[in-house]
């Protein structure tokens, strides 16, 4: 459909025109303001969240958001009109709408400015690739000069604070695009648009400029602190379901296991070595050749007994994920069924020149077909989870023809960035409809706003193995986390190793990078080894007694000891919309030294992680390697102010607000525990559910009052949504040196009614570090009633 150029005169740069016929009225959703030729609708989602819709006059928005799940909730509103502006006040926000320009200023409830639109920058305009019902849409804002902002998805640019950046938001491998940012001033802004969008920040303005949209449509959220503000995004777009306990264990993968015997053998080798492992992943081409791409069938003769393969993995108390793509080869049944119905997209995708085409996930019937084959051919065999690869999808040579083709909801240009949301949502919703006994686990390469509600673990894509890329993973993960996407991971060691580390596991410099990357991965929501060019299983790096093997084993065992802490944190993510990984500024907003700190972060409520991000021990020259372990390396670590910090490895208490130098032997990652923390320490296990938690070590890190809630349930299934879970809250009083265990709340079938807790007071003279404690302050028996212990 060609644009109606007459309408262009009405809609181009509508705020630059003289506004007239000014009126304001309240509605069941908020406030409606007419400033001809523009209408402004302010819809409230409680007192702290407002949606702004700016449309050409008498063209109200009828679009249903793909991301927003919350319904409007109008709070108590007070309005005021003067000759110059309209004022809208709730208990959490104040809006000032200028009558002359339509510019909106957002203030907190006390009237202090948070952010404002820049005058005369609202654009709702037709262009060469919009239709009569869509427009190019743009809005610019004015931020404080000293303001820091975070979010926008995941970008491999090494930056945490995204001021003074220009980024084209279009999904791609290693690049996740979410038009949202959170400010250290105490608010967040979400631009609800799915088309290619330019985010640009400079000294004059901060703008979102989208190629296609129905209208200007964005949300402003505020709250008393940054964690609360960040949680608003999940309130708007959906809660993150609780992952199964096993998904917090270790995943082993490679590109690729070539026979059905290989993944079974990998699990066996780990079990023989007594190295913890929960999941093995089967990558692509189990379906056969490229014309049969993603057939969702085991048509490769090397996988002619898939049921036996899965059963043998399960018999060793491990789980399995499998690679599934968002595109289909021309010889597949899916292609044959979808092509005649217009359910495939004409996009040059991977593998190239093979006739492979992505499907249209915006079409519910296409999602039904997708799941039908996945369920009948793979899920029915007992597969435990999904590796949904290329959910951007992979695209090459995208031009006007490719962008302007129709998908189910409109032009692909108008919806392309939401492709991963719809693809993962289709799998999640269908699996939930089939069974509630197995929680959905989806590993995927891309994400969009709201995707946390679909049980996804997002990984950072096919990053190259390098120290620079290892460092870049930290701000990439943190910015994605602040967009409401809590579960993230990366390929340990990087995906492509041969560019900088020829020889792979035979290259000792790669060993050092891999060890440091694994240490970092131990403190990410998913811990997963994967890559091409060289195998990554622990036994490829040597044997017990070799430094690389031992350093990896130490981190894997530490990860499993922390499972009670990790599972409790996952419950906080689900129950309280908390964040797993977060920048230090998130919890310490007054410490300006943290605004741009890219190499440290918080993992859960208690642990501060400072990965080693440079080579310290191995040098290469002419295919020979020099190892210098007799000269310990170190790194500097900043301890945030207004807290004391305990060195996890030594038990030493340090004051915040200073930079310390921490020795970094090859098998150690700098870890600091916030004073007042309580951390449960789990048993030594080979897989997550090997032993129950009847007996746990409870570590108290003194120096401040503290609280921790231990969460337990059946470890899988969705019965927790029906109340089948329990919590025990531990409260530490620093002044009286008392630990109080609350009355246990809730119950579930396999709950341990009688518990044994070994209480450990961490201090230098008796610090257990990553070993079991040898000095126990008190050993107590707990039967679900309130109990107080004096230490």
CB 664 within 8 A of CB 635: yes
Query: CB pairs under 8 A, 24+ apart, for 267-275?
Result: 267/313, 267/316, 267/318, 268/316, 269/537, 269/539, 270/537, 270/538, 270/686, 271/316, 271/686, 273/538, 273/539, 273/544, 274/686, 275/538, 275/553, 275/556, 275/686
CA distance 554 to 559: 9
| Position 9 pLDDT exceeds 50 | no
pLDDT for the residue 684: 98
Same fold across 5-142+187-222 and 258-510+526-550:
no
Q: Provide the pLDDT confidence category of residue 774 given band limits of 50, 70 and 90.
A: confident
pLDDT surpasses 60 at 1: no
- As annotated, the active-site residues are 389, 392, 462
pLDDT (average), residues 748-774: 94
CA distance 248 to 565: 11
The CATH number of 5-142+187-222 is 2.60.40.1760
Per-residue confidence (pLDDT) for residue 134, from 0 to 100: 84
Beta strand 456-459 with 442-444: parallel, antiparallel or unpaired?
A: parallel
User: pLDDT-based confidence at 18, cuts 50/70/90?
Assistant: low
pLDDT of residue 130: 67
> 177 - beta bridge partners?
153
Q: What does the pLDDT look like over 135-174, one tens digit per residue? A: 999 999 999 999 999 999 999 999 999 999 999 999 999 9
Per-residue pLDDT, 243? 99
pLDDT at 3 over 50: no
Examine the pLDDT at 13 and tell me if it is beyond 60. no
- 197: Cα separation from own chain's centroid: 21
User: What are the boundaries of each domain within the chain?
Assistant: 5-142+187-222, 258-510+526-550
CA distance 588 to 108: 20
The span from the CA of 295 to the CA of 726, in Å, is 42
Q: pLDDT tens for residues 348-392?
A: 999 999 999 999 999 999 999 999 999 999 999 999 999 999 999
CA distances from 225 to 222, 450, 584, 589, 730 (A): 8, 21, 13, 9, 24
For the residues 757-770, what does the mean pLDDT come to? 94
User: Could you tell me where the DSSP H helices lie in 316-446?
Assistant: 333-338, 364-377, 400-404, 412-415, 419-434
| Residues comprising the chain, all counted | 791
pLDDT band, very low/low/confident/very high, at 15 (cuts 50, 70, 90)? very low
- Whether the pLDDT of residue 706 is over 80: the answer is yes
* SS3 assignment for 580-643: CEECHHHHCCCCHHHCCCCCCEEECCCEEECCCCCCCCEEEECCEEEECCCCCCEEEEEECCCC
| DSSP code, position 152 | E
* pLDDT mean over 312-331: 99
The average confidence (pLDDT) of the chain is: 96
pLDDT digits (tens, 9 = 90+) for 650-679: 999 999 999 999 999 999 999 999 999 999
The radius of gyration of the chain from alpha carbons, rounded to an integer in Å, stands at: 27
Predicted confidence (pLDDT) at residue 759 exceeds the cutoff of 50: yes
C-alpha 588/C-alpha 572 separation (Å) is: 19
519 within 8 A of 234, measured Cβ to Cβ: no
The predicted model gives 706-729 an average pLDDT of 99
HEC per residue, 167-217: EEECCECCEEEEEEEEECCCEEEEECCCCCEEEEECCCCEEEEEEEECCEE
| Six token digits for residue 38 | 């523009």
Residue 356 neighbours by CB under 8 Å, 6+ apart: 290, 293, 294, 327, 328, 329, 330, 349, 350
Q: What is the pTM (predicted TM-score) of this model?
A: 0.97
Strand ranges, E, within 494-611: 527-529, 581-582, 601-603, 607-609
What residues contact 506, with CB distance under 8 A and at least 6 apart?
none
Residue 406, beta-bridge partner list:
411
Predicted local distance difference test score (pLDDT) of residue 664: 99
Percent of the chain residues topping a pLDDT of 70: 97
User: Cα separation of 711 and 715, whole Å?
Assistant: 10
At 101-113, the pLDDT tens digits run 999 999 999 999 9
Would you tell me which CATH number, out of the four given (3.40.1830.10, 3.20.20.80, 3.55.50.30, 3.40.630.180), belongs to the domain 258-510+526-550? 3.20.20.80
> Cβ distance 387 to 323 under 8 Å?
yes
How many other β-carbons are positioned within 10 Å of the β-carbon of residue 663? 12
For residue 744, what is the DSSP state?
P
């Amino acid at each position: 459909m060609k644009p109606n150029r007459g309408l262009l005169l009405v809609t181009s740069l509508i705020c630059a025109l003289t506004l007239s016929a000014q009126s304001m009225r309240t509605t069941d959703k908020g406030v409606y303001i007419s400033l001809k030729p523009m209408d402004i609708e302010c819809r409230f989602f409680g007192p702290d969240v407002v949606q702004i819709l700016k449309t050409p006059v008498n063209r109200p928005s009828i679009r249903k958001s793909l991301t927003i799940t919350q319904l409007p909730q109008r709070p108590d509103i007070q309005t005021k009109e003067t000759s110059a502006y309209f004022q809208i006040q709730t208990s959490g926000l104040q809006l000032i709408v200028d009558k002359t320009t339509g510019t909106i200023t957002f203030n907190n409830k006390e009237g202090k400015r948070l952010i404002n639109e820049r005058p005369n920058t609202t654009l709702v305009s037709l262009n060469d690739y919009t239709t009569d019902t869509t427009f190019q849409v743009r809005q610019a804002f004015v931020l404080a000069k000293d303001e820091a902002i975070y979010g926008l998805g995941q970008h491999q640019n090494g930056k945490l604070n995204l001021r003074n950046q220009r980024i084209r938001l279009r999904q791609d491998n290693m690049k996740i695009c979410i038009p949202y940012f959170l400010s250290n001033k105490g608010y967040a802004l979400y631009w609800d648009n799915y088309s290619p969008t330019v985010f640009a920040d400079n000294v004059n303005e901060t703008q979102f400029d989208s190629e296609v949209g129905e209208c200007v449509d964005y949300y402003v959220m505020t709250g008393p602190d940054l964690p609360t503000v960040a949680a608003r995004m999940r309130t708007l777009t959906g809660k993150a379901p609780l992952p199964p306990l096993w998904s917090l264990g270790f995943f082993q993968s490679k590109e690729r296991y070539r026979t059905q015997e290989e993944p079974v053998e990998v699990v066996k080798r780990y079990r023989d070595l007594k190295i913890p492992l929960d999941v093995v992943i089967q990558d692509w081409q189990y379906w056969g050749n490229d014309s049969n791409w993603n057939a969702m069938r085991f048509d490769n003769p090397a996988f002619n007994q898939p049921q036996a393969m899965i059963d043998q993995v399960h018999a060793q108390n491990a789980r399995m994920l499998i690679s599934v793509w968002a595109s289909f080869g021309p010889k597949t049944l899916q292609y044959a069924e979808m092509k005649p119905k217009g359910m495939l997209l004409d996009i040059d995708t991977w593998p190239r020149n093979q006739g492979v085409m992505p499907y249209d996930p915006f079409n519910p019937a296409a999602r039904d077909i997708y799941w039908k084959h996945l369920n009948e051919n793979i899920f029915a065999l007992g597969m435990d989870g999904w590796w949904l690869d290329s959910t951007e999808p992979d695209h090459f040579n995208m031009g006007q023809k490719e962008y302007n083709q129709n998908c189910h909801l409109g032009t692909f240009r108008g919806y392309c960035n939401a492709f991963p949301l719809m693809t993962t949502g289709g799998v999640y919703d269908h699996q939930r409809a089939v069974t509630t006994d197995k929680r959905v686990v989806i590993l995927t390469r891309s994400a969009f706003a709201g995707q946390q509600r679909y049980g996804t673990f997002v990984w950072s894509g096919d990053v190259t193995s390098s120290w620079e890329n290892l460092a870049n993973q930290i701000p990439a993960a943190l910015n994605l986390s602040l967009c409401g996407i809590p579960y993230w991971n990366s390929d340990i060691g990087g995906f492509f190793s041969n560019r900088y580390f020829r020889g792979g596991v035979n290259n000792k410099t790669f060993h050092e990078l891999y060890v440091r990357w694994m240490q970092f991965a131990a403190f990410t929501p998913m811990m997963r080894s994967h890559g091409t060019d060289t195998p990554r299983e622990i036994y490829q790096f040597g044997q017990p007694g070799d430094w690389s093997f031992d350093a990896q084993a130490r981190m894997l065992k530490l990860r499993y000891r922390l499972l009670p802490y990790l599972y409790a944190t996952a419950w906080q993510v689900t129950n309280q919309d908390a964040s797993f990984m977060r920048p230090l500024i998130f919890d310490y907003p007054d410490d300006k030294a943290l605004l741009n700190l890219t190499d440290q972060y918080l993992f859960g409520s208690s642990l501060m992680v400072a990965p080693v991000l440079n080579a310290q021990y191995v040098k290469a020259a002419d295919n020979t390697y020099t190892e210098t372990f007799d000269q310990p390396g170190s790194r500097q670590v900043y301890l945030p102010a207004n807290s004391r910090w305990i060195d996890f490895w030594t038990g030493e208490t340090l004051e915040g607000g200073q930079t310390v130098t921490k020795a970094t032997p090859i098998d150690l990652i700098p870890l600091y525990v916030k004073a007042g923390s309580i951390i449960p320490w789990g048993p030594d296990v080979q897989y997550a559910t090997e032993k129950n938690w009847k007996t746990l070590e409870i570590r108290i890190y003194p120096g401040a009052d503290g609280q921790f809630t231990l969460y337990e349930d059946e470890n899988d299934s969705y019965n927790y949504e029906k109340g089948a879970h329990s919590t025990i809250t531990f409260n530490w009083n620093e002044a009286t040196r008392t630990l109080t265990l609350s009355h246990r709340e809730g119950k579930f079938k396999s709950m341990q009614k009688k518990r044994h807790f070994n209480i450990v007071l961490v201090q230098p003279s008796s610090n257990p570090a990553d070993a079991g404690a040898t000095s126990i302050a008190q050993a107590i028996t707990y039967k679900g009633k309130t109990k107080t212990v004096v230490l």
